[in-house]
A = this chain, B = another copy of it.
Amino acid sequence: MPILRNEIGDVLRDARLLQGKTLRDISSGARVSLGYLSEVERGQKEASSELLSSICDALDVPMSAILREVSDRFETAESLENVAVMPSIPDTVPELLSSMRAR
């Protein structure tokens, strides 16, 4: 299952790159150091509520849109995880069973 701060970081970076903005553009707009913003984008730091709000403002993207995108990515991961835990149904008779029958 993904880690929330990684997904938030990915979504923030994707939004920034989509706008053709640099880390410097957004860090100065959000009044956060470039290094810290970079760590948030790479999921190495948890952004506080206030910082996340400032980054959204600097990106001019509503918080709701960032959270919705993060939610969508979790939903995809959750559905994939459900598939992964489904019991696999073999479509051939296992070798062990075959050999038992042979006796």
Contact = CB atoms under 8 A, between A and B. Distances in A.
Contacts of A1: 53, 63
Interface residues of A, number: 23
A75 interface: yes
A71 B75 contact: no
A48 B49 contact: no
A46 B68 CA distance: 19
Given A46-B48, A62-B78, 20 more contacts: A1-B63, A3-B50, A4-B52, A4-B53, A4-B63, A6-B49, A62-B75, A63-B71, A63-B74, A64-B71, A64-B72, A64-B74, A64-B75, A64-B78, A65-B71, A67-B68, A67-B70, A67-B71, A68-B71, A71-B71
Interface in A1-16: 1, 3-6
Contact of A74 (B3, B48, B62, B78): B62
A81 to B, nearest CB: 10
